[in-house]
Amino acid sequence: MARYFTDEHEWIDVDGDTATVGITDYAQGQLGDIVFVELPGAGTALSKGGDAAVVESVKAASDVYAPIDGEVTEGNSALEDDPALVNTAPEGDGWFFKMTIGDASQLDGLMDEAAYKSFCDSL
């Protein structure tokens, strides 16, 4: 399973035909206590770079963008009851949604873990 990162601080795990998307540990650290996550419904068509979800901390609301084209297959319902999962397990149980992979070639433009780490270090 390969993991990719965007410069908008989303991560994307690719497993066969589907991908799981969330926000990075760096992003949750910047946002602070997450109090609400608005997820796209199953069947929502996403296009790379477009709005996919909203994550709210006490003082800010930020958009989460689709890392690639595809269609949402499932939102993480655990976040409805416990949005703080994004703080405690951003790159695990705090995932946002699963999606189909519309165009696998778009993955080539994303960063791997090492590249993302040095990207964050440069910020």
Partner 1 sequence: MRYLPLTDTDRLAMLARIGAPDIDALFADVPEEARLSGPIPGLPMHASEMAVEKHMRQLSKKNLAAADAAFFLGAGAYRHHVPATVDHIIQRGEFLTAYTPYQPEIAQGTLQMLFEFQSQVARLYGCAVANASMYDGSTACWEAVAMAGRVTKRKRVVLSGALHPHYAEVVRTMAKFTEDEIAGASPALQSQPDNAGLIARIDDQTSCVVVQYPDILGRIPDLAEIAEAAHAKGALLIAVNTEPVALGAIKSPGELGADIVVGEGQSIGVGLQFGGPYLGLFAVRDPKHVRQMPGRLCGETVDAEGKRGFVLTLSTREQHIRREKATSNICTNSGLCALAFSVHMTLLGEKGLRQLAAENHRLACAAADRLAKVPGVKLLNDSFFNEFTVLIDGDARAIVRQLTEQNVLAGVSLGRLFPGHSELANGLLVAVTETTTEEDIETLASALEEVLA
Interface residues toward partner 1, by CB under 8 A: 36, 38, 56, 58-61, 63
Task: Report d(CA 108, CA 123) in Å as an integer.
Answer: 22
Give min distance, CB of 11 to partner 1, in A: 23
Q: Which is nearer to partner 1, 59 or 105 (CB)?
A: 59
* Residue of 54, 122, 65 whose CA lies nearest to 99: 65
Is 17 within 8 Å of 100 (Cβ atoms)?
Answer: yes
Query: For residues 40 and 94, which CB has a smaller minimum distance to partner 1 in the complex?
Result: 40
Q: Which value, to the nearest 10 degrees, does the dihedral of the CA atoms of residues 106, 26, 34, 42 take?
A: 10
- Name the residue nearer to partner 1 (CB basis): 16 or 41: 41
Which is nearer to partner 1, 59 or 122 (by Cβ)?
A: 59
Q: How far is the CB of 61 from partner 1 (least distance, A)?
A: 4
- Rounded-to-integer distance, Cα 91 and Cα 114, Å: 15
**Minimum distance of partner 1 from residue 21's CB (angstroms):** 20
**C-alpha pair distances (Å), 90 with each of 83, 104, 106:** 10, 24, 23
Nearest distance, CB of residue 46 and partner 1, angstroms: 17
